[in-house]
Each structure stands twice: as structure tokens, then as C-alpha cells.
A and B are shown apart, each in its own frame.
Chain A
Amino acid sequence: MHELAITESIVAAVTERMPGTPVRRVHLSIGRLSGVVPDAVRFCFDLVTAGTPLEGAVLEIDEPGGSVMCRRCAAEFDTDEVLALCPCGSADVELLRGQELRVRSVEVVA
């Protein structure tokens, strides 16, 4: 369950940038090819934020879909499969999008 470590990194990333500031909302992007399960992050979030300035914050997660480019025929296509197979038959694809794992923004008390 690497989502525990991931969630700790999220909280650390926020508190390092805005030390001591109470945070009411955290907006994340977790791509569908990132290998991180949003529900597992939600599960860990309350646990990890307890006693921090993020305690009680609303967690908002968007999940951008994936896209890949075939290294054989150069076709680009959307997919949510990590092991995507190009219509040309090649499995040799480069992931272009969907691996994001970012804290987009936070909302703090004005």
C-alpha cells in the first residue's frame, strides 16, 4: 500500500510550502496510469492529516485519462491500460499522459 507513503508526501509537499497555514481543501491530479489508487489515497488522507494544518480538509481528486504513442507506427491514442497495445499490434508504446501525480492547488482560509 504505497498510497500511505504517497499521501504522506502530499501532506509534506503542502506543509513545506505553506508552514502552519490551515488548509481547507486540497486538489490533486492522479492520472489513470500513475499506479496510484485515488480511493486508497482518500482512505489514508484523514489518517495522515490528523494533527496537521490539513486536518479536516476536503480532498478533491481529478483523474486524467492516459494517452500513449506507438514507437513502431507513431500513432497516438487514448487508453487507461498501462500495457496498451497499439492497433498495429505493437506493445512498444510510450506513455504520454496519465502518469500525473500532482498537488494542483490548495484552498486556505482567506
Chain B
Amino acid sequence: MCGTCGCASEIEHGHGHGRTVPLEVDVLAKNDGLAAANRAEFARRGIVVLNLMSSPGSGKTTLLERTVRSLGAELPVCVLEGDQETVLDADRIGAAGARVVQINTGAGCHLDAGMVARALPVLAPADGSVVFVENVGNLVCPALFDLGERARVVIMSVTEGADKPLKYPHMFRTADLVLLNKIDLLPYVDFDVAAFVDAARRARPGVAVLQVSATRGDGLDTWYAWVRVARREIVASVAPRS
């Protein structure tokens, strides 16, 4: 309590103060509102949106290139690419054969629901599409911003530390699926897979961890099966039009 005026302030402040206006506003309410609108739109149109998050260099883009080539013939697949700068990743995804829109965040370290809402009409995914959102490479900031996604997929590679889930708990505790990438490199690096799985489940009890190599192809059939199930669920939940 302020000793001078008896107000609730715990720090020194100027007196002859003004009027206190209670606001009680959730700081993320605007983003969460936009995310809810995105989610409702995706549900109505049977579009499954997967938010892919990882540190830079975990192999997100390589995984997506391969996923687009493998699933593109069977499912309508498109990609929202988030990076601070350049259209390099969008060029790679486009070359792999998917519709893609690049979002450059400039100084921003994450995508937010408004950016996704603005990019969506440009991407113009068909009803029943799978939209992969490649978030900005960063294990911290994207965790706080709901995009309206169906599921969060966190990707880690074996060239990173197995204790990352404990160091970046906000990211891993909301993961719906964890992909451990670059397992073709396991013979050459000191990475304890069991310790990593334990750490991931400490952050998100029971989370599925798929071991994959986006370059060699290990484990990708399981990943594709997971994507198909996610899509089937959302398409099945769309109410038939009368």
C-alpha cells in the first residue's frame, strides 16, 4: 500500500493522482478471439490446420517438402510459411508442388492469429484441405500465440539437446505430437532418445513421439498416417449440408 495516499500501489508514485479505471482485460484476448474465429472457419470448411513449431534448423521445411510430395497427390495440401525474412522456404515448398503463401514477420518472432487470418484468403485452401503452418523457427515465442490450429506439432532434431523439453516447457507442454527428426544422424551424435522421450512426456504427459528422418524417409509413413487421421476427424465433423 502507498504510504502517502493509501492506494494499492506498492511503488512510489506521484500524488494528486487521477481516477482509477478498472479494465480487467486479458492481454491475449484479441489474439485468442481471432484464433477462435479461424478455428470456427476451419471447422466449418473441414480444413485441418497443423501448427509446426521448432527451433531454426530442425528440418521443418525439408519435412514439409517431402510431405507435400508424398501426400499432395492424395490430399489437397497447402502451406503457410512463416519466417522473419525471405521467400526461400516458400520457393522450396512451391517447387515441391503445394500452394504456399509466405508470411514475413520482419522483427516479429512468431506468427499470430491475425497474420493467419490475413494470409488465408491469399492461400485460398479448398474445403477439406490440410494446411501446414510452418511457424517462425523459435522454441519460445510461438508457444503463446494460438493460431486457431487443430493441433500443434513440435519438431526437434537429434543434433539438439535431449533436455530441450525441460528447458522450453511452454512449447512442449502444449504439443499434440512431437517429431524427433534427423534420426539418420543418431550414429554420429551423442543424443539419448529415451531421455528425450521422458523429457517430452514430463512436459506433456502421454504425448506421442515419432522418430523420423525427413531426408532418408524413416518413420514418415507413421507421420502421414497421423495427418490423414487428423484430416478425417475434421472432415467427418463437418455437418452435412441439407
What is the interface of chain A, defined by CB distance below 8 A to chain B?
1-2, 4-6, 9-10, 12-14, 17-18, 24-25, 28, 35-36, 58, 60, 62, 71, 82-83, 85, 90-92, 101-110
Contact pattern, B 1-39, Cβ under 8 Å of A = 1, otherwise 0: 000000001110110011111111111111100000000
The contact of A109 among B11, B18, B24, by CB within 8 Å, is B18
Cβ B24 vs Cβ A102 within 8 A: yes
Q: How far is the CB of B30 from chain A (nearest CB, A)?
A: 6
A contact residues around B66 at 8 Å (CB): none
Cβ B24 vs Cβ A9 within 8 A: no
Instruction: Identify which of residues 22-80 in chain B touch chain A, using a CB-to-CB cut-off of 8 Å.
Output: 22-31
B contact residues around A106 at 8 Å (CB): 20-21, 23
Q: How far is the CB of B16 from chain A (nearest CB, A)?
A: 9
Given contacts A12-B30, A110-B18, contact A102 B25 (CB under 8 A): yes
Q: List 18 A-B contacts (CB under 8 A).
A: A2-B145, A4-B107, A5-B110, A5-B141, A6-B27, A25-B17, A60-B9, A62-B10, A82-B173, A83-B166, A83-B169, A91-B203, A92-B206, A101-B26, A101-B27, A104-B23, A105-B23, A108-B21
Whole-angstrom CA separation of A62 from B10 in the bound complex: 9
A contact residues around B206 at 8 Å (CB): 92
A contact residues around B173 at 8 Å (CB): 82-83
Contact pattern, B 138-153, Cβ under 8 Å of A = 1, otherwise 0: 0011011100000000
The contact of B109 among A1, A9, A83, by CB within 8 Å, is A1
Whole-angstrom CA separation of A103 from B30 in the bound complex: 13
Given contacts A1-B141, A5-B108, contact A110 B201 (CB under 8 A): no
What is the interface of chain B, defined by CB distance below 8 A to chain A?
9-11, 13-14, 17-31, 107-110, 112, 140-141, 143-145, 166, 169-170, 173, 201-203, 205-206
The contact of B140 among A2, A90, A107, by CB within 8 Å, is A2
The contact of A13 among B19, B29, B107, by CB within 8 Å, is B29
Cβ A58 vs Cβ B13 within 8 A: yes
Cβ B18 vs Cβ A103 within 8 A: no
Whole-angstrom CA separation of A105 from B14 in the bound complex: 17
The contact of A10 among B27, B112, B205, by CB within 8 Å, is B27
A contact residues around B13 at 8 Å (CB): 25, 58, 60
A contact residues around B11 at 8 Å (CB): 58, 60
B contact residues around A110 at 8 Å (CB): 17-19
Whole-angstrom CA separation of A4 from B107 in the bound complex: 10
Whole-angstrom CA separation of A68 from B28 in the bound complex: 21
Given contacts A60-B10, A83-B202, A110-B19, contact A101 B141 (CB under 8 A): no
Q: How far is the CB of A74 from chain B (nearest CB, A)?
A: 15
A contact residues around B112 at 8 Å (CB): 5
Q: A5-B141, A58-B13, A62-B10 are in contact. List 10 more A-B contacts (CB 8 A).
A: A1-B141, A5-B112, A13-B27, A25-B9, A25-B13, A35-B140, A91-B201, A105-B22, A107-B19, A109-B19
The residue in chain A whose Cβ has the minimal distance to the Cβ of B172 is A83
Whole-angstrom CA separation of A12 from B31 in the bound complex: 12
The residue in chain A whose Cβ has the minimal distance to the Cβ of B142 is A2
